[in-house]
Structure 1
Amino acid sequence: MNKSIFIGVLKSKRLALIVAAVAVSSTLNAAKVQAAPEVNRYNGMDRYETAAKVCNDGWNMDTDYAVIVNGENFPDALSAAPLAKKYNAPILLTEAEVLNHYTSAELTRLNVKNVFIIGGKGVVSQSIEDALKARKIKVTRLGGADRYETALQVAAKVGKTGEVAIINGNDFRDGMTIASIAAAKGMPIVLTEKNHMPDSVKKYLGNTSKMAQVYVVGDENTISEEAIKGLSNVKRVGYGNAYEKNTSIIDAFQNELDTDTLYVASAKDFPDSLAASALAPRTASPVLFVDSPMDASTQRFLKKHIVNKLKVLGGPGSVSYDAEQIAKGLPLGIGKAENITDTIWQNEKYTPPATMIITATDGNKKEVSVDWNLTKINTTKPGIYTFTGKVKGSDKTVFTTLTVKPIPYKIDDITKTAKSRESFELPSTVTAQMSDGTKVPVPVTWDYGTQNGSKGGVYTFNGTVDKYNKKVKLTLTITPKAAIASIEDFKKVFETSQDMYSFIRSKMPKEATALMDDGNESTVDITWEPVSKLTNGSAAGTHILRGTVPDYANKVKFLMIVKSEGGVDPNPSNPGNGSGDTGTNPNNPNNPEDPDDTVKDLGELPAIVQGQAYPDTVKDPVTGRQVQVTWTKVINIDTTFVNEDKLEDCRISKVTLEGTIGNSNNKVKATIGVIPRILGITTSSNTSNTLTPVVIPISGTGVYDMETATEQLRAIIIDPRTGERIKKEVTVLIWDPPYISVGDSQNYNVRAAIKYYINSNNTNTIDVTLQVQQTQN
């Protein structure tokens, strides 16, 4: 296409706007996932009716105050917004000589008792003032010799707040942008000329070094450095053309504003934005200037904010429908909103967060408001509660899952004994009876007091448990450790020296029986010297090896008598320490020299689950202690399937093993049952035996005991006879939580720990959903 022809086509303003609108719309359709902002247009026949419609929307009941300004003369109106905000008053417009009928009607509707007239009698006539007074309305006129003094009178009525905004009194655009912001902050607006500040304004400002901030609205082309010379704590806001100024001023106060609602006005005249400057501060909303075509700075501003409501000020002659559509299509949408998870203690107050962080459609994080379906949460009962909310101004639903943790209500006192204070370690947890009926270990912090030493006596410690209103008491009784009084020597008779050396190498006892100085006996550890230290005894055929016992000054002797060397027991009536073994094995009289031929039968051990390792410790049949076991061979495997209703009673096989225990060659055997491996957990109502999420229907309201749900749980296993899936009853070790307070929610999520079950995460827990059934009327 010829370039000049293309330019000529685009000279049609409406066609250009349509092209722009289509381009914006196409871009948005690809990115946004929520509805466009809601649009509300204040469209009067003229500026006076538009202001009345703004008033009607913002004030729907009686109000004591109203602010009246000249609808044709902007200078006196520039400072009105902070005053209106202070007195919760609408701003209404009038002609100079006659009270406008729309304004009069609003004063009647709201039963206004006080009116502020902004400007002198040349701006709003005396006849209007008289007419208001005739209606029993108190009138306060704020009007000076010029616009600068009028603004100062308004500022005096607003009062000093430590901040002030200075604007050029000859351009309404900057004033209309800052008006709603200043009103929201409660700071007055004063006027100046571009290159000169009137003396009255300088006097009002005084020493600004004592002020928190002086905002100068506009760059040096608006208010020169000469005009503000001598002022301290100055911060300039706003630069560029009228639209760049508008958006940059809003951005300067973005932390104090909320773009959820935007008031959209024309930058070509002041009345519509003036009327909104009294209403916008209620929601900390700014006034945004738009035009056709829309300025690039305005487009950039809209593209980086989430906007849910657009309040258009004026008819299409002020803000065109094309500009409205473009403004409607540009703001960001909500791309992703993460659900909220919170945890509190029982009885703690909880209020859903008023705002949340979402990911906008441009990938950036934004803070948005949320309207929740409830505002007060009953936290007097522990459990998991879920409630919903809507992101304000959108159709996006978000959820909050609140876990109310139970609190301890009973902890029993503790009694302990120890040999010394230093040897006793205070427990880091204590068992608490919780408010949900469970017993769980909870952390405890102890007050160690001033006790010292290892002297006998009774010591009391007080412990603190979070959320428990009492002290936990621990009573410790110190019983000083008894000392070793004596240890009887060992003695053993051997046929040959080879038997003696074999015994020393593999079967020397590791413990001895000691007589303590309190009269009791105690088992103590003993360490023998190496065989190279073996010495001859006092008689032929006798040898001695010595051992060391901790905390015992003397050496323990082991007298070894070798018959083939002529050795004779010098004291046969004393068997020595230990069992008095003389070389024979009473358990195997047919083979006295080999005590290992006897196999002790341990019977049936606790069952294991299919695929688990065999136990690596067993109880020593002689000492009764748990010792290491090494399984050496399988004696028998019984593959008869034991088919019972409960999983823990089922067996896919029974294996009989033989092995050795401890560091000896003593043999044992045992039978171990094998429980079928659980494929997954389902419910009794699942006829297909497939692995699906566990959902248990419940009915009614009130407290639901989770033990009731145990009856509906089933384990899925493989029948070894047919290869088919079958179900078995299970044992639940613990429900978390054990009780649910059933209320308005449809679903409750709980967790169960299942005996003999191991999931893919190597834990024994499953997630269960309780689904409340609606009662049929």
Structure 2
Amino acid sequence: MDNLKPKHVLKSKKIALLVTSLAILGALGTVKVYAAPEVERYSGINRYETAAKVCDAGWDTAAYAVIVNGENYPDALAAAPLAAKYDAPILLTGPDTLNAYTSSEISRLNVKNVFIVGGKGVVSQSVEDSLKSKDIKVTRLSGDDRYETALAVAKKVGKSKEVVLVNGNDFRDGMTIAAIAALKEIPIILTDGAYMPADVKKYLNNTSKMDQVYVVGDANTISDEAISGLSNVKRIGTGNAYNKNVSVIEAFAGEIDTSTLYIASAKDFPDSLGASALAPKTSSPVLFVDSPLDESTSTFLKTHIVNNLKVLGGSGSISYDLETTAKNLPLDIGSTNNFTDTIWQDEKYTPRSTVVVTATDGTKKEVPVEWNLTNINTTKPGIYTFTGTLSGSDKTVYTTLTVKPLPYKIDNLTETASSKASYKLPTTVTAQMTDGTTDEVAVNWDYGTQSGNKPGVYIFNGTVDKYSKKVKLTLTITAGSTKTIKSIANIKATVAKKSDYTRPTMVEALMSDGSTEDVAVTWGNETKYGTGVYTYEGTVSGYSKKVGLMLIVTGEGGTDPNDPDYPDNPDNPDDSKDLGELDAIMQGENYPTTVADPSTGKQVAVTWTEAVSISSQFKDDDYVDGCRVAEFTLYGVIKGNVKVKATIGIMPKIISLNSEITISRADYPNGVNMSDLSDLISAAIIGEDGNRTSKKVHVLLWNPPTIDPTKANIYYVNATISHYSNNPVRITITVTD
């Protein structure tokens, strides 16, 4: 397999910007496509020429061919899996002489081996001699009856973990499963509907070792008595010939592809027989049709995507009116999204084999896709775009692949601290990446040498994903620092809802010299103390005891149990320093994790312990940012166990965004400053009356900031919108004259 290079490899910032723009278009774009199935008919003056036409469509050359009697179906029922195994067409002949169309196809294909299915009473010695005169090796597969002939074919197909059992007295049961059995290369075995012949029973003696025995038809087709003693039996196909055909196809829905569909008359076997060798090449089934269409057939066509319709036989078998009806019923692909994938550099990448599309009735369907390259060179980081064609159609989708660079150099770290208990290991380190950039990458530290808190040097080894070396951190505890943790008080907190409380990552410790320090704490599992009361045990490095935390949740009926191990230290709003009003947040967003320290003005971490509702009155405004659905007073603690409080407004959540703008070219002869269009973007929220209403949004950043409407009719720009998505939103701008 060739190692094909992707079409776009990043060489400079300009190219990077171009490809990134393409990637955004691809990721957010939707391909809309509508088309009726293409129809191709295989027909001749008789069944023999029709089989030759099917052969001509599927094979340019063939080392093997399978020949069956074109007038007598029983021996032909088992032929399809044999043909699939040897990639051979199925051709028809008369019983006494080799048919001229079949002879011509064998010569065209330069066939060297032929399997004759059936005894000399079905396909005569004269036909065999005609083939041998062409310097062809002939292998005859036959038995005393149709059942033994099917067994002879099955043995040539070879051992299989699955097998199909059909009633040998009705060709439609065999033909309805033939193409699927050929696709799976599993033998078709014939039986009588009321009993199982002895040789067949002997062949199926070890079905307990098989994964599945498919029995086509219900007990009226093959009786329960006939299959008694078989293991791993699964009945498929019920009802009349058409309903049975459809239900058999649907039983293998995950293994077949309906984008190409063969349709044949259920009134005779030859047309569908020839197709049973060709259809597996596209994993396609054969569907029985009749005029008028059976309800089950009509429903099947109406609920499947079909891009190519292959009609088997002339107008005497399938009329042109029936062809038109069948053509107009199937679904088509209405639209499909383009895709983005992300992998690491040097990581193997295989494009997805199927994609989910929206059919013309609005339902979701899975469709195979063929990409324009089979192997992708991922040895260089960058962004690559490649195209794919949806199976059986000319419809195109795009995949944008981001190949992330690898960290190739990370410097070791050297740190100092007054005590190791108060030192917090970094969660990221700076790495030089293979694309020439630097980035912060996550690191996981080994803790083998961290016990103890005495002055000295401590070594930590860190692991970074996709980096082959260990990152070394050397921590020096300041010489002469002999302080140890003397005690840590247990903690009690009261909240309205458990979700309002975040357990602290640092606790205050009383040191051996009388000072206090904040030390890192790791909390263990939760224990239910009582109704609405929970306790946790925390571990602090260098401290032999456990730290206790009691959480009282009043919203769950929790009351203070006055446990002497947990000091009575509820938050007192009167003692809290008021931070004033914080920036509003949107419904579903988390409370801020940092606030301004009232003493220093610097941003510090905060742990909120309680949220008290002070208003649930809807506040209206022209902009989403100005609307409010609620207001709360937050109570919390910052570094140094300083109690703080603040008020915060809650904005209504944006349900959807109108991302399409239409402007007139005449209104902007000198170009468009995108900030002038900000008020044209609207968002849907739930208003005061409980119904959807439209509000303006604040655009924080436009990219690009300007456009020239004289250059094109459609522009795609990115807008970063306040409180909506972590990523820029694509805005479509249509320019009219």
How far, CA to CA, are the matches of 1:423 and 1:241 in structure 2? 79
How far, CA to CA, are the matches of 2:333 and 2:599 in structure 1? 65
**2:410 alignment counterpart:** 411
* 1:690 equivalent in alignment to 2:673: yes
Alpha-carbon distance change, 174 to 768 in structure 1, aligned in 2, over 3 angstroms? closer
* 1:213 equivalent in alignment to 2:196: no
How far, CA to CA, are the matches of 1:715 and 1:113 in structure 2? 70
**2:119 alignment counterpart:** 120
* 1:136 equivalent in alignment to 2:135: yes
Alpha-carbon distance change, 687 to 768 in structure 1, aligned in 2, over 3 angstroms? farther
* 1:82 equivalent in alignment to 2:65: no
Using the TM superposition, give the Cα deviation of residue 69 of structure 1 relative to its aligned residue in structure 2, in angstroms.
0.4
Alignment of 1:145-156 (within 5 A): 145-156=144-155
How far, CA to CA, are the matches of 1:47 and 1:134 in structure 2? 25
Using the TM superposition, give the Cα deviation of residue 761 of structure 1 relative to its aligned residue in structure 2, in angstroms.
4.8
Using the TM superposition, give the Cα deviation of residue 476 of structure 1 relative to its aligned residue in structure 2, in angstroms.
1.5
Alignment partner of 2:250: what SS? Answer: helix
Alpha-carbon distance change, 618 to 436 in structure 1, aligned in 2, over 3 angstroms? farther
How far, CA to CA, are the matches of 1:189 and 1:316 in structure 2? 30
How far, CA to CA, are the matches of 1:693 and 1:132 in structure 2? 82
**2:179 alignment counterpart:** 180
Using the TM superposition, give the Cα deviation of residue 449 of structure 1 relative to its aligned residue in structure 2, in angstroms.
1.6
Amino acid at match of 1:241: N
Using the TM superposition, give the Cα deviation of residue 381 of structure 1 relative to its aligned residue in structure 2, in angstroms.
3.2
Alpha-carbon distance change, 148 to 354 in structure 1, aligned in 2, over 3 angstroms? same
Q: Deviations over 1:281-322 (max 9, x none)?
A: 222211101111111110011111111111111111111111
Using the TM superposition, give the Cα deviation of residue 272 of structure 1 relative to its aligned residue in structure 2, in angstroms.
0.7
**1:40 alignment counterpart:** 40
Conserved? CA contact 2:721–2:729, under 8 Å: no
Alignment of 1:513-524 (within 5 A): none
Conserved? CA contact 2:258–2:304, under 8 Å: yes
How far, CA to CA, are the matches of 1:66 and 1:426 in structure 2? 72
Conserved? CA contact 1:34–1:394, under 8 Å: no
Conserved? CA contact 1:41–1:314, under 8 Å: yes
How far, CA to CA, are the matches of 2:313 and 2:602 in structure 1? 90
Using the TM superposition, give the Cα deviation of residue 480 of structure 1 relative to its aligned residue in structure 2, in angstroms.
4.2
Using the TM superposition, give the Cα deviation of residue 390 of structure 1 relative to its aligned residue in structure 2, in angstroms.
3.2
How far, CA to CA, are the matches of 2:186 and 2:367 in structure 1? 26
**1:54 alignment counterpart:** 54
- Which has the higher relative contact order, 1 or 2, with Cα contacts under 8 A spaced 6 or more apart? 2
Q: Deviations over 1:651-685 (max 9, x none)?
A: xxxxxxxxxxxxxxxxxxxxxxxxxxxxxxxxxxx
**1:664 alignment counterpart:** none
Conserved? CA contact 1:384–1:404, under 8 Å: yes
Alignment of 1:329-728 (within 5 A): 329-480=328-479, 482=481, 688=671, 690-691=673-674
* 1:109 equivalent in alignment to 2:108: yes
Alignment partner of 1:280: what SS? Answer: helix
**1:312 alignment counterpart:** 311
* 1:163 equivalent in alignment to 2:146: no
Alpha-carbon distance change, 282 to 395 in structure 1, aligned in 2, over 3 angstroms? closer
How far, CA to CA, are the matches of 1:378 and 1:160 in structure 2? 40
Conserved? CA contact 1:751–1:765, under 8 Å: no
How far, CA to CA, are the matches of 2:476 and 2:448 in structure 1? 15
How far, CA to CA, are the matches of 2:119 and 2:468 in structure 1? 69
How far, CA to CA, are the matches of 2:480 and 2:383 in structure 1? 51
Conserved? CA contact 2:65–2:83, under 8 Å: yes
**1:91 alignment counterpart:** 90
How far, CA to CA, are the matches of 1:131 and 1:401 in structure 2? 58
How far, CA to CA, are the matches of 1:260 and 1:462 in structure 2? 55
Alpha-carbon distance change, 402 to 37 in structure 1, aligned in 2, over 3 angstroms? same
Conserved? CA contact 2:675–2:705, under 8 Å: no
Alignment partner of 1:48: what SS? Answer: helix
Alpha-carbon distance change, 421 to 267 in structure 1, aligned in 2, over 3 angstroms? same
The runs of at least 4 aligned residues of structure 1 exceeding 6 Å deviation read: 523-526, 615-620, 625-628, 713-716, 748-752, 762-769
Amino acid at match of 1:133: K
Q: Deviations over 1:334-389 (max 9, x none)?
A: 23322212111222222321211122223322101223344443433333333333
> TM (normalized to structure 1)?
0.59
Alpha-carbon distance change, 455 to 237 in structure 1, aligned in 2, over 3 angstroms? same
Alignment partner of 2:310: what SS? Answer: strand
Conserved? CA contact 1:421–1:452, under 8 Å: no
Alignment partner of 1:348: what SS? Answer: coil
Conserved? CA contact 1:454–1:480, under 8 Å: no
> TM (normalized to structure 2)?
0.62
Amino acid at match of 2:330: P
How far, CA to CA, are the matches of 2:216 and 2:704 in structure 1? 73
Conserved? CA contact 1:408–1:468, under 8 Å: yes
Amino acid at match of 2:273: L
Amino acid at match of 1:42: Y
Alignment partner of 1:254: what SS? Answer: coil
**1:67 alignment counterpart:** 66
How far, CA to CA, are the matches of 1:207 and 1:397 in structure 2? 48
Amino acid at match of 2:142: G
Q: Deviations over 1:502-523 (max 9, x none)?
A: xxxxxxxxxxxxxx99xxxxx9
Conserved? CA contact 1:693–1:768, under 8 Å: no
Identity of aligned residues (%): 67
How far, CA to CA, are the matches of 1:145 and 1:341 in structure 2? 60
Conserved? CA contact 1:334–1:360, under 8 Å: yes
How far, CA to CA, are the matches of 1:268 and 1:33 in structure 2? 36
Conserved? CA contact 1:68–1:115, under 8 Å: yes
How far, CA to CA, are the matches of 2:173 and 2:328 in structure 1? 26
How far, CA to CA, are the matches of 1:87 and 1:616 in structure 2? 77
**2:661 alignment counterpart:** none
How far, CA to CA, are the matches of 2:420 and 2:185 in structure 1? 67
Alignment RMSD, CA only?
A: 3.6
Conserved? CA contact 1:34–1:396, under 8 Å: no
**1:192 alignment counterpart:** 191
Amino acid at match of 1:436: D
**1:327 alignment counterpart:** 326
Conserved? CA contact 2:674–2:705, under 8 Å: no
Alpha-carbon distance change, 351 to 112 in structure 1, aligned in 2, over 3 angstroms? same
Conserved? CA contact 1:420–1:481, under 8 Å: no
Conserved? CA contact 2:450–2:459, under 8 Å: no
**1:670 alignment counterpart:** none
Q: Deviations over 1:238-268 (max 9, x none)?
A: 1111111111111112222211211111101
Alignment partner of 2:314: what SS? Answer: coil
Conserved? CA contact 1:415–1:475, under 8 Å: yes
Conserved? CA contact 1:35–1:395, under 8 Å: no
Alignment partner of 1:422: what SS? Answer: helix
How far, CA to CA, are the matches of 1:251 and 1:243 in structure 2? 12
How far, CA to CA, are the matches of 2:197 and 2:431 in structure 1? 76
Alignment partner of 2:215: what SS? Answer: strand
Alignment partner of 1:343: what SS? Answer: strand
How far, CA to CA, are the matches of 2:359 and 2:47 in structure 1? 37
Amino acid at match of 1:181: I
Structure 2 alignment gaps of length 5 or more: 1-31, 484-511, 518-594, 605-668, 678-702, 707-714, 732-737
Amino acid at match of 2:383: I
Conserved? CA contact 1:35–1:394, under 8 Å: no
Alignment partner of 1:55: what SS? Answer: helix
Matched residues, number: 501
Amino acid at match of 1:318: S
Alpha-carbon distance change, 475 to 390 in structure 1, aligned in 2, over 3 angstroms? same
Alpha-carbon distance change, 86 to 626 in structure 1, aligned in 2, over 3 angstroms? closer
Using the TM superposition, give the Cα deviation of residue 458 of structure 1 relative to its aligned residue in structure 2, in angstroms.
2.1
How far, CA to CA, are the matches of 2:309 and 2:467 in structure 1? 52
How far, CA to CA, are the matches of 2:305 and 2:704 in structure 1? 50
Amino acid at match of 1:305: H
